[in-house]
Amino acid sequence: MADESTLHPSHKRSCMCRPLNIPRTKPTNEVYSIMKDFNVTDDDLKKYMKLLMADLHKGLAKATHAKSIVKCYPTYIQDLPSGQEVGRYLALDLGGTNFRVIMVDLQKNHFEMTSRTFVIPNEKMLGSGKDLFDHVAACLHLFIMEQKLNDECLPLGFTYSFPLIQKAIDRGIIERWTKGFKCDDIIGEDVVKVLQEALVRKGINKNVIVKAVINDTAGTLIACAWKSPYCKVGLIVGTGTNACYVEKQQNAEMFDGANHGSGLVLINCEWGAFGDDGCLNYLRKPEDIDIDKASINPGKQLHEKMISGMYMGELVRLLILKCVKGGAIFGGKSSSELNQKDKFLTKYVSDIESEKLGTYDKSKAILESLGLKNITETDFQNVRYICECVSRRAAFMCSAGLATLIKKTEEKRVTVGIDGSVYRYHPHFHNLMMEKMKQLVTPGVVFDLMLSEDGSGRGAALTAASAS
Ligand code: BGC
């Protein structure tokens, strides 16, 4: 069992043997019937698991990898941390609208961290690769100055949370961008080289040596493995979604590194792309199609668009609007704010669902801030029900995905290290996953879900430590 202090807060309160208390709101009949086909059944999830398992095999095998959708990139990480790593390391965490610079001081079985978060302006997310990485280097420079590290030379682990064709622990080719980023001029380039060139331009290449580049899922797995030897799977449900797991090198046909002894390698599944060949169309609804069409990467990351934080609030907004049009909510009247794309934040889903059933203070504040007036108790219930349908579907799909990966590891006991804003802040996501996974994981296999304390950054530092 994982160390209690690292378990998800809602996990600590629950007993794994009792059914968990997950509140469910009662909607009106009209809203119920509009939302009806948004519910995924166990048969749907079993079909999903078969499809994902087949895609994992395709991604791993040389003969099918090029055409595979779930790419299963080998990460070149072969060893999980022992807890004995020591020293001072830097980490960069690039993967969402914010990015972080972190300094980690690893002592035996103990660590200290200092970090600073910087915003990435939208124009840098959509501009040239040079501009984006100059911004990264400028922020790193600021951090080095603030922490008075200018006379030092520290190893750095780079958490880069986008599809990367890894060629070595410190080399990886940018395959494409996701989650609102589109710096397409550097696709095909080695991301570590791009970063190093920016460090040279900023004059800090003597202070920093990039030792490793890793995905956030890998960072999360590694950070949790530092505490639990059973951690073999890593999951992110945040702005985007993805998972990684520990695979035998003999099954990872695309892995061309030398075996350092463990015979294992961490696989970055890039499961956000699952369904891009149409195999998940049986689960996709008109609103999923609309979200995809309005995105900057249509046709791509279809699985991610059904699950992750970048899209969850927008899905709820489109479904509320559908109910408004049918006259089933707000007396058939919308507001100009509610009619605008992305105005219903994913954070609202967590806020609304965290209220005690029958109380609507937060819901009222949220809906009024969206310009809605004369909201009735039934409206509050209906909105909450729509949120529940969307977050449940996401949690159940993640559960089916994890049950598939746990099966693929062939282990009898698996801890899953998890991070990301949806998992961390949604009040019932963890419990929903526990419930569903109990039904889907192979009987006899023991699993638990561990919230990563600052996963990916510390994982990057630990990987830099192993690589040093
Ligand atoms: C990226 C993954 C990443 C995930 C979670 C996806 O959009 O493709 O590399 O792990 O988001 O951040």
Is the separation of the CB atoms in 435 and 429 below 8 Å?
A: no
Nearest CA to ligand 1 atom 12: 240
Q: Judge contact between 416 and 235, C-beta under 8 A.
A: yes
Asked if the model's pLDDT at residue 9 lies above 70, the reply is: no
> Hey, which of 215, 233, 306, 424 would you mutate to test ligand 1's pocket, going by the most ligand atoms within 8 Å of its Cβ?
215
Residue 18 bears catalytic tag: no
Taking the C-alpha atoms of residue 446 and residue 416, their distance in angstroms, rounded to an integer, is 11
Of all protein residues, the one whose alpha carbon is nearest to atom 1 of ligand 1 is 162
Query: Does ligand 1 come within 6 angstroms of the Cβ of 99?
Result: no
Summarised one tens digit per residue, pLDDT across range 325-362 is 999 999 999 999 999 999 999 999 999 999 999 999 99
Band of the pLDDT at 20, cuts 50, 70, 90? low
Ligand 1 pocket residue status of 161, Cβ below 6 Å = yes
- 216 flagged as catalytic: yes
The residue to mutate among 70, 120, 125, 162, having the most atoms of ligand 1 within 8 angstroms of its beta carbon, is: 162
Q: 240 C-alpha vs ligand 1 centroid, how far in Å?
A: 5
pLDDT tens, residue by residue, 228-246? 899 999 999 999 999 999 9
pLDDT for 6 equals 42
Q: Which residues pair with 267 in a beta bridge?
A: 74, 245
pTM recorded for the entire structure: 0.94
Examine the pLDDT at 5 and tell me if it is beyond 50: no
pLDDT in tens, 63-72: 999 999 999 9
Residue 110: pLDDT band (50, 70, 90) is confident
CB 287 within 8 A of CB 315: yes
Query: What is the per-residue pLDDT across 178-237, written as a single tens digit (0 to 9) for each?
Result: 999 999 999 999 999 999 999 999 999 999 999 999 999 999 999 899 888 999 999 999
304 lines ligand 1 (CB under 6 A): yes
Pair 324, 34: CB distance under 8 Å: no
Cβ atoms of 383 and 329 closer than 8 Å:
yes
* Domains, in order of start, for the chain: 12-70+275-397 (3.40.367.20), 73-268+455-467 (3.30.420.40)
First to last CA, the chain: 31
466 is catalytic: no
> What's the Cα-to-Cα distance from 460 to each of 71, 101, 153, 215, rounded to whole Å?
22, 11, 17, 9
